[in-house]
Amino acid sequence: MATAEQIKSLLQSHYKNDDDRFTSIALQVAAHEARKGNMSIAQEIKSLVEKSKSGGFKIIKLNRDVSDLVLVFHPENRLNELILSEEVRSKLERIITEYKQRDKIQKFGLNNRRKILLSGIPGTGKTITASAIAGELKLPLYVIMMDKLMTKYMGETAAKLRDVFNMMQSNRGVYLFDEFDAIGAERARDNEVGEMRRVLNAFLQFIEQDTSDSIILGATNNIKILDSALFRRFDDIITYTIPNTQEIKELIGLKLSGFLGKYKLDKVIKESKGLSHAEITNACNDALKETILADKKTVSQVLLIRMIQDRKTNYL
Ligand SMILES: Nc1ncnc2c1ncn2[C@@H]1O[C@H](COP(=O)(O)OP(=O)(O)O)[C@@H](O)[C@H]1O
Ligand SMILES: [Mg+2]
C-alpha cells in the first residue's frame, strides 16, 4: 500500500494540476511496491501512467497564459471514418498531402494550404474533420474556446487572440476556431459594431500574418452572415452538405457495421433523407443500444426506421 504521505502528495498535485509531480509520485508508489515484491501492482501502476501519457483523447496542460482559452486533444480519428463527398474528401486529402510534403514545395517558394474555412449545416462533420486532420498528421488538436475569447474589452480580446496566435508559432498543431461566427457575425450587427469590427479585423490580420507551421481551421454553420473579407484570408473554403443517397448508405453501413441485418436499405435511406450525418449517426446508435440490450445480434429494419423517424420528429 502507498503511504499516507504519498497519498497526500498525490492529492496535492492533483488539486494543483501539477501533472508532472502527480506522475512522479505515482511512479514512486510503483517503485515502493516493487521493492516490497508486489511486482504485479507495480507493473499495473506503471502501465496506467504510460497509458495516460499516450492517451487517445487526452487533455494536457498548456502555457499558463492561454490555458483557460484553449483545450488540447490528441485525437486518433482518421479521414476514412468520415463519409464525405468526393469534393470535400479530395480537398482534405490535399491539405494532408501538402502538409506532409511542405518542405518539398517550400523549396520552390510555395506554401502548403493551411488556413482553412469549414462551412456548412450543423452535424455534417466539421468539428470531427478537425480531429481527423490532427489524427492523420499526428498533431495535437487545439480547440479555441470562442466564448472565453470574447470579452467586452477590445484590447483584452485582441491580446488574448495574439496569445493564441503566438502559441501557434511555438506549439505546432491543428488550431480549431469552432463556431467561429462568434467573431465574424458581430461585424454585420449594428450594436457594438465598432468594437466587434476591430476584433474581427485583428483576427483577420493575425490569420494573414501568421507564418507558423500550424494548421488553422475556422468552422462555421452560417457562412452567409460572415463578411466576405474573411474568405480572402483563407487558403481554401470547404463546404459541408447533408449526405446524399449513396452517402447515407455508406454512413449507416459504417455506423452499424457488424450489426446490420440482411435487408435492403432503400426504405431506411428514404426515411433518412434530409437528416444530417450526426442525426443519422445518433439514430444508428439508438438502434444499436436497443439491439444490444435486447441481446439481439442484428439491428432490425423496423427498429432502425423507428429510430430515424424519432430523430425527424425531434428535428421538425
Ligand atoms: N461526415 C460524417 N461522417 C461520419 N460521421 C459524421 C459525419 N458528420 C458528423 N458525423 C457524426 O456526427 C457527430 C457530430 O458531428 P460534428 O463533426 O460535430 O458536426 P458539425 O461540427 O458539422 O456540427 C460526429 O462526431 C460524428 O459521429
Ligand atoms: Mg461543430
Rounded to the nearest angstrom, the distance between the alpha carbon of 203 and the centre of ligand 1 is 26
DSSP state of 152: S
Q: Is 220 in the pocket of ligand 1 (CB under 6 A)?
A: no
Dihedral, CA of residue 262, residue 264, residue 270 and residue 272, to nearest 10: 30
**Ligand 2 centroid – CA 239 distance (Å):** 13
Whole-number Å distance, alpha carbon 199 to ligand 1 midpoint, is 29
Q: Whose CA is closest to atom 16 on ligand 1? A: 125
Atom of ligand 1 at shortest range from CA of 82: 3
Ligand 1 pocket, mutate which of 281, 284, 288 (most atoms under 8 A from CB) = 281
User: For 104-114, what is each residue's pLDDT tens digit?
Assistant: 999 999 999 99
Cβ-contact 220, 180 below 8 angstroms? yes
Question: Which residue has the least CA distance to atom 4 on ligand 1?
Answer: 82
Per the prediction, the chain carries an average pLDDT of 87
Q: Judge if the beta carbon of residue 243 lies within 6 A of ligand 1.
A: no
Distance 127 CA to ligand 1 centre (A): 7
Whether the CA torsion 127, 130, 135, 140 is positive or negative: it is: negative
Mean pLDDT of 175-204: 70
Task: Please give the number of the atom of ligand 1 that sits closest to the Cα of 219.
Answer: 21
Topology match between the domains 64-240 and 245-315: no
CATH for the stretch 245-315: 1.10.8.60
Query: Over 60: is that where the pLDDT of 100 sits?
Result: yes
> Domain locations in the chain?
4-53, 64-240, 245-315
Q: Are 308 and 284 in contact (CB under 8 A)?
A: no
CA distance 26 to 15: 15
Per-residue pLDDT at 234 exceeds 50: yes
Cell triple for residue 22? 502527480
What kind of architecture, by CATH, is found in domain 64-240?
Answer: 3-Layer(aba) Sandwich (3.40)
Segment 72-96 shows an average pLDDT of 97
| Rounded average pLDDT over 65-74 | 87
Whole-number Cα distances in Å, 180 to 59, 63, 147, 218, 290: 22, 23, 10, 6, 36
Atom of ligand 1 nearest to the CA of 118: 22
